[in-house]
Amino acid sequence: MRQAAQNPAQDPGQDPAGGPPCQEPRRGRPRSAAAERAILDAVLELLESGETLDGLSIERVARTAGVGKATIYRRWSGKEELFLDVLRDIEPDEPTVSGTAGLDDLRVLLESMRTRGLAQRSSTLLHNVFVQMKKHPRLWTEYQSTVIAPRRDAMLAAVRRAVDAGELRDDLDVELMDDLFLGPMLVRTVHRPDAPLPEDLADRIIRTLLQGLAPHSANPQVTALKPTTAPV
């Protein structure tokens, strides 16, 4: 719609009807992306001050962020869902893979696991967030299904591409191969927090599995594990 032409003699701040000058509209509360950023930052601020997930309230988050509670509830159904997004926000970004390569994409995904492990070790906040989340089964289950499961699916897809490309054997259980690649990095980053995470760890895992664990002079079929008879 075209705007009506302004009377040149009229003061820009004066009401068109000749009344007192118009008041500038008050700046409202942050909206959209700005509001979301303020809310996430507010949760982080409260967590850094020692607040726990159990002690966290939507009202306090809203007050800290400078937004109304309704603004939060329009985006999240409750504090657990909000907490999950906070965790996603402070974790390193998901890696970009080609989607066409096999071992190369697998290497990228393993390296991403290593950097996340380093981030969790160096960030007291990130470590505490994980500890608190594990105390809430529903939240932990949601994190597993929405964050961990897609990462595992991406690795499994990379292993399948490696099989299709002839980089890995096609006569083995694909999921077992995926677990063999994933396991060492998972142990180092999660179950052994004191274990070293060198920059070449992803390459070493892949190389070790490709070369095999049996001595070079041994015949894998001969040295394969055989069932043992339990003592009577």
Which tens digit of pLDDT belongs to each residue from 185-229?
999 998 898 899 999 999 999 999 999 877 766 555 544 444 444
| pLDDT tier for residue 29 given thresholds of 50, 70 and 90 | very low
Position 84 pLDDT exceeds 80: yes
State the pLDDT at residue 195: 93
* pTM (2 d.p.): 0.70
pLDDT for the residue 142: 86
Distance between CA 173 and CA 176 in Å, rounded? 5
Distance from the first to the final alpha carbon of the chain: 94
CATH top class, domain 93-211: mainly alpha
Distance set, CA 180 to CA 9, 59, 108 (Å): 81, 46, 16
DSSP class per residue in 108-134: HHHHHHHHHHHHHHH-HHHHHHHHHHH
| Contact (CB, 8 A) for 56 and 83 | yes
Does 93-211 match 32-89 at the fold level?
yes
Of the given ranges (103-112, 179-188, 207-216), which has the lowest mean pLDDT? 207-216
Q: What is the pLDDT of residue 59?
A: 95
Q: Assign a CATH topology to domain 32-89.
A: Tetracycline Repressor; domain 2 (1.10.357)
Domain locations along the chain = 32-89, 93-211
**30-72 per-position pLDDT tens digit:** 457 899 999 999 999 998 888 888 888 999 999 999 999 999 9
